[in-house]
Amino acid sequence: MSVKPASASALFAGPFALATLSAADGPAFPALVTPDGQALDLQVALAEPALTVRNLLERWPAVLPRLRELADSEELDRHPLADFRVHAPVEPRQVFQSGANFRQHVIDLHVAHRAPGDERSEEVRRAEAAEIMDRRAAEDLPYVFIGLPSAVTGPYDDVILPSWAAKPDWELELVAVIGRPAHHVSPEEALHYVAGYTIANDLTDRATVFRRDMPQIGTDWLRSKNAPGFTPLGPWIVPAESVGATDDLRLTLKLNGEVMQDESTKDMIFDVARMVSYASQSAQLLPGDLVLTGSPAGNGMHWGRLLRDGDVMESAITGLGSQRTRCVAEEA
- With respect to residue 7, please indicate whether it lies within any of the assigned structural domains: no
In angstroms, the CA 175 to CA 186 distance is: 19
- Does one domain contain both 69 and 181? no
Q: What pLDDT shows up at residue 213?
A: 84
In angstroms, the CA 150 to CA 147 distance is: 9
- With respect to residue 8, please indicate whether it lies within any of the assigned structural domains: no
Q: What pLDDT shows up at residue 8?
A: 41
- Does one domain contain both 177 and 68? no
- Does one domain contain both 74 and 213? no
Bridge partners, 263 (sequence order): 251
- Does one domain contain both 161 and 298? yes
DSSP E strands: which ranges in 132-268? Answer: 143-147, 152-153, 159-161, 168-169, 172-178, 194-201, 204-205, 231-232, 238-239, 250-255, 258-264
Is the Cβ–Cβ distance between 52 and 63 less than 8 Å?
no
In angstroms, the CA 31 to CA 18 distance is: 6
Q: What pLDDT shows up at residue 7?
A: 43
Predicted confidence (pLDDT) per residue in 262-310, tens digit = 999 999 999 999 999 999 999 999 999 999 999 999 999 989 999 999 9
Q: How confident is the model at residue 245 (pLDDT cuts 50, 70, 90)?
A: very high
- Does one domain contain both 179 and 34? no
- Does one domain contain both 49 and 153? no
Helix (H, G, I), strand (E, B) or coil at 295: coil
- With respect to residue 155, please indicate whether it lies within any of the assigned structural domains: yes
In angstroms, the CA 252 to CA 227 distance is: 23
Predicted confidence (pLDDT) per residue in 101-160, tens digit = 998 877 777 777 666 677 788 888 888 888 887 888 788 789 999 999 999 999 999 999
CATH number of domain containing 180: 3.90.850.10
- Does one domain contain both 325 and 212? yes
Residue 6 scores a pLDDT above 90: no
Q: What pLDDT shows up at residue 332?
A: 64
| Distance set, CA 310 to CA 58, 117, 158, 161, 327 (Å) | 39, 36, 10, 10, 5
- Does one domain contain both 63 and 198? no
Q: What pLDDT shows up at residue 40?
A: 97
In angstroms, the CA 186 to CA 274 distance is: 8
Q: What pLDDT shows up at residue 3?
A: 41
- The boundaries of the domain holding residue 169 are 95-102+142-329
Bridge partners, 18 (sequence order): 32, 237
Q: What pLDDT shows up at residue 114?
A: 67
- Does one domain contain both 212 and 321? yes
Q: What pLDDT shows up at residue 2?
A: 41
Q: What is the greatest pairwise CA distance in the chain?
A: 69
Domain count, the chain: 2
- Does one domain contain both 49 and 146? no
- Does one domain contain both 151 and 225? yes
In angstroms, the CA 196 to CA 176 distance is: 6
In angstroms, the CA 273 to CA 131 distance is: 23
Helix (H, G, I), strand (E, B) or coil at 263: strand
In single-letter form, the type of residue at position 11 comes to L
- With respect to residue 121, please indicate whether it lies within any of the assigned structural domains: no
- With respect to residue 124, please indicate whether it lies within any of the assigned structural domains: no
- With respect to residue 315, please indicate whether it lies within any of the assigned structural domains: yes
Helix (H, G, I), strand (E, B) or coil at 79: strand
Helix (H, G, I), strand (E, B) or coil at 253: strand
Question: For 129, left (φ over 0), alpha (ψ -120 to 50), or beta?
Answer: alpha
Q: How confident is the model at residue 25 (pLDDT cuts 50, 70, 90)?
A: confident
In single-letter form, the type of residue at position 18 comes to L
Q: How confident is the model at residue 161 (pLDDT cuts 50, 70, 90)?
A: very high
- Averaged pLDDT for residues 35-56: 97
How many C-beta atoms lie closer than 10 Å to residue 256's C-beta? 11
Q: Final residue of a domain: which of 40, 61, 86?
A: 86
Identify which has the larger pLDDT, 27 or 7. 27
Cα–Cα nearest to 318, from 255, 267, 247: 247
- Averaged pLDDT for residues 215-223: 86
**DSSP H or E stretch at residue 276:** helix 272-282
Identify which has the larger pLDDT, 322 or 123. 322
- With respect to residue 117, please indicate whether it lies within any of the assigned structural domains: no
- With respect to residue 109, please indicate whether it lies within any of the assigned structural domains: no
In angstroms, the CA 12 to CA 324 distance is: 15
- Does one domain contain both 77 and 200? no
- Averaged pLDDT for residues 39-45: 97
Residue 188 scores a pLDDT above 50: yes
Residue 60 scores a pLDDT above 60: yes
